Homo-oligomer: A and B are copies of this chain.
Amino acid sequence: MDKKSSVTIHDIARELKISASTVSRALNDNPRISRFTKDKIKAVALKMGYQPNTIASNLRNQKTNTIGIVVPLINRHFFSTFISGVEEVAFNTGYNVIISQSNDLLEKEKKIVHSLFSNRVDGLIISLSMQTDKFDHLELFTNKNIPLVFFDRVAPQLKANKIVVDDYAVGLKATQHLIDEGYRRIAHLAGPTVLNTYHDRMEGYMAALRKNNLPVVEERIIYNRLTRMDGQEAIKHLLNLQNPPDAVFCGNDTTALSMIMYLKRIGIRIPDDFGIIGFSNEPFSEVVTPSLSTLKQPAFEMGEKAAELLIHEIEDKHQPREYRTITMPTELIIRESSFRKG
């Protein structure tokens, strides 16, 4: 093996011919140790290159100062930005962050959740996989009263804090905007509506139509997994309808983008002949031509908020639990793809 592993408080104690307890107390600034002794110990600790073993401390304290994050895919802009926000708050509060991605697979999500539990994370922040329809694995946390915060794709049944956007309002705002721009046959590309986020958005979409006395036409609503490919399939399908739509509200910017590409290719003018609005304001949405109207989710702020809520719950063990669902504001960003008034 390597050279003698690491310096421990016992090594320091031996060096100074005192007990390890005193060293531990001194390094933690326990008032029971005199200033003189503390200084001496700290000096020696520094000289010997002491680095505390957090593992040992964690075991003894039953606390790891670590929070787990589970997202479907780390390199999706929304998620990585969210994670960035979590990390920011966590770091400033003295917490580490373990991340894992479920790849939208329930089985992987289960394994991850178990592993994070075994690693005794102090709390968990999770956005569910697209496949997740049962929640037994999460009861590992809820049963043991380990703080849990959902965001984005949440489990409505479970008692936990939740960070979401008002998806109903999103659907309403997006659709109303298209109506305001004069579109009348508005389609909707929805994700799997078992997930409340997609379900609510569709409700908002329908509500907007009704409010404006426009018919809700079944065949104009398409459900899929919202990949790039799905977007292209969807627009082809929609254009082939007897009475094709003149605009689409897409479940995400990715599908909206692939629709724009397709429409440009076949020569349909945006926004003149066809309006498009997406969701989540990806980095590319601003720069594509025509630029893509969308709704912005405050990803970084959601991460910060999730971390704050979680850490607050971790450190306030004795508070009676009261679970909140925090709705973050979304912002309608009107760009070229849907703006034909001006």
Contacts and interface: CB of A to CB of B under 8 A. Distances in A.
B118 A51 contact: yes
A30 interface: no
A144 B6 contact: yes
A50 B120 CA distance: 13
B2 A52 contact: no
A77 to B, nearest CB: 7
Among A58, A96, A115, the most chain B Cβ lie within 10 Å of the Cβ of: A96
A55 B64 contact: yes
A81 interface: yes
Interface string A260-282: 01000000000000000000001
Contacts of A184: none
Contacts of A80: 74-75, 77, 79-80, 83
A3 B143 CA distance: 9
A144 B209 CA distance: 66
Contacts of A22: none
Contacts of A114: 51
B101 A84 contact: yes
A49 B283 CA distance: 45
Nearest to A97: B99
Given A58-B55, A284-B287, A287-B257, A91 B81 contact: no
Interface string A72-98: 011101011101100110010000111
Interface string A139-178: 0100011000000000000000000000000000000000
Contact of A74 (B52, B87, B288): B87
A62 interface: yes
Given A54-B118, A59-B59, A2 B144 contact: yes
A119 interface: yes
Contacts of A120: 53-55
Contacts of A223: none
A46 interface: no
A74 B64 contact: no
Contacts of A289: 287-289
Contact of A119 (B84, B91, B96, B283): B96
Interface of A: 1-3, 5-6, 51-56, 58-59, 62, 64, 66, 73-75, 77, 79-81, 83-84, 87-88, 91, 96-101, 108, 112, 114-120, 140, 144-145, 257, 261, 282-284, 286-289, 300, 317
7 closest residue pairs by CB, A with B: A289-B289, A80-B80, A284-B284, A75-B80, A287-B288, A2-B145, A75-B81
Given A74-B87, A99-B99, 4 more contacts: A53-B120, A74-B83, A282-B283, A283-B284
12 contacts: A2-B145, A51-B117, A51-B140, A52-B118, A53-B120, A59-B59, A74-B84, A75-B77, A75-B83, A77-B77, A96-B98, A261-B287
